Structure 1
């Protein structure tokens, strides 16, 4: 057991946390820039360079692998799988399929239209819609590199639970009539799913890496920049008073602040890392990340074009309440994860 623990620890440090990269960047800052990484400016430069390179390396590798897996589950095949199962099992399957089809919150909307027009249960579709931008295999490994295995696994589990419960509640409320009429009228073409060759899957995975990097690079840089500022320039006392344990409304505030932002988990991770390092509760950090990824304002604007205001309000209320409850529970039992 000790040998396994040592091997796992080494793999975690060298492959996920990339301690070797941190050391190289430290040498760069100290030898080339002549700055101490313990100072504000040197620490900010180290944080920015190290986190940026680490995120893009992990992101490229993980997206390639996940996209290769995803090539077996195009929307048409996902739709067929979900169409076979009803009830709570359908919600669970919808949430699980969302984890291997990593669409961002905005690109999930066309998938939502396709699933709804195909006659899939509304609750199953919403379970997919919640989990797809919120939880995927790439985010699990990235979270492990920043926060460790316990928090990463817990984030994925509660994300799936939120997706299942959210979809189930929407299904039980019978809200199908609040989907815009034109969505139901869209002709559903049950196209055959072409089987891809190995080379085609590799080409597809490379294109996905290129496409996703082009879409998220700016948000990653902005997120890392904000994280560097929080980590090295904002006093810990201010952070603690605003979103720390001293403020009983910290989780609520983190959720409200996160909703208007538009980014995916890759852009929010550096900010979350900096907040966590400043002593912000794990539940508060996770609530912020979930709000940004699951309830971003642009995706809600897009969703408002396909569902009526009552359904949109219920969806936002259910997910927001779930995020807030998850945040407070994680803060209350943080000793298990830290």
Structure 2
């Protein structure tokens, strides 16, 4: 007899995970310590979600379409040609396309197994967690279109910075024999040749692709909703309790020290690009310099747990340290550039 009980716990886990629990915990603590602020916090978060709803809807549909069509298969083209071209293409596709970690890790493992240049892989690793269509939409709604566009350009530039840096240092001890062990081709999705098929743009003609569209849309809607709810609840608390002059005095002068501090704080404190956007928007409203905001989001995006684990799992610690070093240096440079331009 088929087991019909398995999907129920799986669905519950989608709703009762860390982000939802954290949001509830913040509200419970608020109810205990300052009950008068509970309802204003809830309404603030609800109104913020309503304001962001059109961007969430666009992000959900865009990512679902790209997944259903198999547009991710275009990533493989980034690793064809001479090394310099590979680095540029890997940075562009990493910074502009969505990806599934279940597929990207075996995809990168397969590339490394067959000898793909580490510079191109580094470019992809650095750019890919920083921007995608969903994050662009959320960042536009929470901060501004200009900031989202600048972050996209910075993501691609950071990928190229790390990629060409790796290429130039490829003969040094840091990048000699970089892999923990030679990875096998394949992965947890059972994909023998990741990203090897051609995209099907008219995906609605195939039932299985329609199913992918629906499941991806639902998963991304839940993902965005839970993280943005947490972000807006924290933002409401910040608005009420965090003095604006403190933020302005620590992160508001726009100098190189402020930008470096933004990157150093962002690396260990980052949630993810979706939750960070509204929080950074509030910090900017309270006086955080534009350059510090940019370096915070870039450095934190590269060092967030999902992105870092993908690198740590495949390469030796010295290469992982180089990955973080490129991220830190590149985010500071991008932060200073944005501070000057803004």
| Superposition deviation, residue 186 in structure 1 | 4.2
**Cα distance in 2 for residues equivalent to 1:119 and 1:56:** 44
The one of 34, 41, 45 equivalent to 1:48 is 45
Cα distance 1:43–1:327, how it changes in 2: closer, same or farther (>3 A)? Answer: farther
String of CA shifts for 1:102-151, please: whole Å, max 9, x gaps.
23779744442233224322111121122211022332233222333322
Count of aligned pairs: 294
* Aligned position for 1:182: 182
Offset at 1:312?
0.7
Structure 2 match to 1:156: 152
Aligned counterpart, 2:110: 114
Q: Point out where structure 2 has 5 or more consecutive residues left out of the alignment.
A: 1-35
Q: CA deviation at 1:229?
A: 2.0
- C-alpha offsets along residues 44-103 of structure 1, whole Å, 9 cap, x if unaligned? 444311222344542233232233134445555522x12322222211211222244323
TM-score (norm 1): 0.75
Partner of 1:222: 230
RMSD, aligned CA? 3.0
Aligned pair in 2 of structure 1 residues 70, 176: CA closer, same or farther (>3 Å)? farther
Counterpart selection for 1:193 from 181, 192, 197 = 197
Q: Which has the higher contact order (CA 8 A, sep 6+)?
A: 2
Given the alignment, which residue of 320, 329, 335 partners 1:327?
335
Look up the match of 1:102. 98
Contact 1:223/1:268 (8 A) holds in 2: yes
Task: Say if 1:76 and 1:190, in contact at 8 Å, map to a contact too.
Answer: no
- After TM superposition, the structure 1 stretch with the greater mean CA deviation from structure 2, 314-323 or 122-131, is 122-131
Q: Does 1:128 align with 2:124?
A: yes
**Residue 232 (structure 1) aligns with:** 240
Whether the 8 Å contact between 2:72 and 2:99 is mirrored in structure 1 is no
* Equivalent-residue separation in structure 1 for 2:104 and 2:285 (angstroms): 32
Question: In the superposition, relative to structure 1, how do residues 281 and 305 fare at CA in structure 2: closer, same or farther (>3 Å)?
Answer: same
The within-5 A match list for 1:1-338 is 44-73=41-70, 76-79=73-76, 81-103=77-99, 108-174=104-170, 175=175, 177-183=177-183, 185-186=184-185, 189-190=192-193, 193=197, 196=200, 198-199=203-204, 200=206, 201-245=209-253, 249-261=257-269, 263-297=271-305, 299-334=307-342
| Secondary structure, aligned partner of 1:181 | coil
Q: Give the TM-score normalised by structure 2.
A: 0.75
Q: Deviation at 1:311?
A: 0.6
The answer (yes or no) to whether the contact 1:94–1:124 under 8 Å persists in 2 is: yes
User: Which whole-Å CA distance do the structure 1 matches of 2:176 and 2:65 have between them?
Assistant: 34
1:262 Cα deviation (Å)?
5.0
Shift of 1:41: 7.1
Quote the Cα distance in structure 2 between the aligned partners of 1:195 and 1:240: 48
- Per-residue deviation at 1:314? 0.9
Cα shift at 1:255:
1.6
